[in-house]
Amino acid sequence: MARERKPKLAVWKFASCDGCQLSLLDCEDELLAVADKITIANFPEASRAVIKGPYDVSLVEGSITTPHDAERIHKVRRASKVLVTIGACATAGGIQALRNFSDVKDFVAIVYPSPEYIVTLNKSTPISDHVFVDYELRGCPINKYQLLEVVSAFLIGRKPIIPPYSVCMECKRKGNICVMVAHGTPCLGPVTQAGCGALCPSYNRGCYGCFGPKETPNTNSLAEWCKKLNVSRDDLTRFFRNFNAYADSFRKESEAHER
């Protein structure tokens, strides 16, 4: 099918560290190769130039933490044909969702000299709590190849291959020796979605769950086993309360061990 006009890609930033946008910037070689096929209409980390919408694909980074952003996301949605959230902040609320487990006012009072100037919401929430999301890309940060896969798939109109199974699948294919079994190191791999290429277990560390809960995660069984590996209740709470702390199953598991 010959396209008459170049598809427009936009990138939007909400509460985040910009790490996921940097993953996109890291795709410069691949993006340059298609520069004549797509228009990058809005990409704050790369350029200030903004081309007006509507956009064919919007990549949204970051979570909603302010009343202003809670409105702005609706504008982005209205201007986008396909909206893809990228990274743990956008898909689960991010590390800043740690505030959701206490009172944000206490944090504000400690961090800012003049707390009265801070306008913020009580909770950091994922984009999907606010608008309809067409596709979610996990990770803290996202994986460059998965991002290219999603963009490629949407541009050509096919389903992206982003497997929702465990990190263990990647870990075993890679040939890593399991850190849980061989060293007794707690690892979130069995309940975390693949995508990172089992990065941490490849360096003999347990998985930190950057890609959030996998399909049908059994966090409870993993937690019970970790107790046998002498992980304390407090550590279990911290184990599940990470970059994806507010993702449903991780949130529930961390709360179950909280005192």
Partner 1 sequence: MILVLESGNLQSLFDTLISEKYQIIGPTLDNSALIYDEITNVDDLPVGYTDEQDGGRYRLVKSGGKKYFDYVVGQHTWKRYLYPPEKKLFELKRKGDGFEIVENKQEIHKRAFIGVRACEIEAIRIQDEILLEGPYKDADYERCRQNIFIVAVNCVRPGGTCFCVSMGTGPRATKGFDLAITEIVDNSGHYFLIESGTKAGEKIMKEIKGKEADQNAIETADRLMKEAENKMGRRLDTDDIKELLYRNFESSRWEVVAQRCLNCGNCTLVCPTCFCINIEDISGLEVNSAKRVRKWDSCFTLDHSYIYGGSVRTSAKARYRQWLTHKLASWIDQFGMSGCVGCGRCITWCPVGIDITEEVQAIRESEGKGKIMADKEE
Residue whose CB is less far from ligand SF4, 72 or 172: 172
Which one among 46, 118, 178, 256 touches ligand SF4, defined by CB under 6 A? 178
- Interatomic CA distance for residues 6 and 108, integer angstroms: 45
Q: Which one of ligand SF4, partner 1, none interacts with residue 25, CB within 5 to 8 A by kind? A: none
Residue 26 near partner 1 by CB under 8 A: no
DSSP for 183-251, please give it: H-----GGGBBS-S-SHHHHTT-----TT-B-SS--HHHHHHHHHHTT--HHHHHHHHSSTTTTSHHHH
Q: Which one of ligand SF4, partner 1, none interacts with residue 131, CB within 5 to 8 A by kind? A: none
- Interatomic CA distance for residues 126 and 1, integer angstroms: 36
Residue 245 near ligand SF4 by CB under 6 A: no
Q: Which one of ligand SF4, partner 1, none interacts with residue 161, CB within 5 to 8 A by kind? A: partner 1
DSSP for 120-148, please give it: --SS-B-GGGTS--SEEE--SS--HHHHH
- Interatomic CA distance for residues 153 and 21, integer angstroms: 19
Number of chain residues interacting with partner 1 (CB under 8 A): 44
Please state the closest distance from residue 47 (CB atom) to partner 1, in A.
19
C-alpha pair distances (Å), 237 with each of 33, 144, 226, 247, 252: 45, 30, 12, 14, 10
| 176 Rama sector, left if φ>0, alpha if ψ -120 to 50, beta otherwise | beta
Which one among 76, 95, 121, 187 touches ligand SF4, defined by CB under 6 A? 187
Residue whose CB is less far from ligand SF4, 190 or 212: 190
Q: Which stretch binds partner 1 (CB under 8 A): 43-51, 112-120, 145-153, 251-259?
A: 145-153
Q: Which one of partner 1, ligand SF4, none interacts with residue 198, CB within 5 to 8 A by kind? A: ligand SF4
Residue 231 near ligand SF4 by CB under 6 A: no
- Interatomic CA distance for residues 215 and 168, integer angstroms: 13
Residue whose CB is less far from ligand SF4, 112 or 165: 165
C-alpha pair distances (Å), 42 with each of 8, 47, 49, 59, 165: 9, 7, 7, 10, 32
Site residues for partner 1, window 173-202 (CB under 8 A)?
173-175, 177-178, 180-182, 184, 187, 189-191
DSSP H helices, 11-162, are 19-25, 28-33, 67-78, 87-92, 104-111, 144-156
Residue 191 near ligand SF4 by CB under 6 A: no
Q: What is the CA radius of gyration of the chain?
A: 19
Residue 221 near partner 1 by CB under 8 A: yes
Residue 199 near ligand SF4 by CB under 6 A: no
Residue 116 near partner 1 by CB under 8 A: no
List residues near partner 1 by CB under 8 A.
Answer: 30-31, 33-34, 37, 148-149, 151-153, 155-156, 158, 161, 163-166, 168-169, 172-175, 177-178, 180-182, 184, 187, 189-191, 204, 215-218, 220-222, 224-225
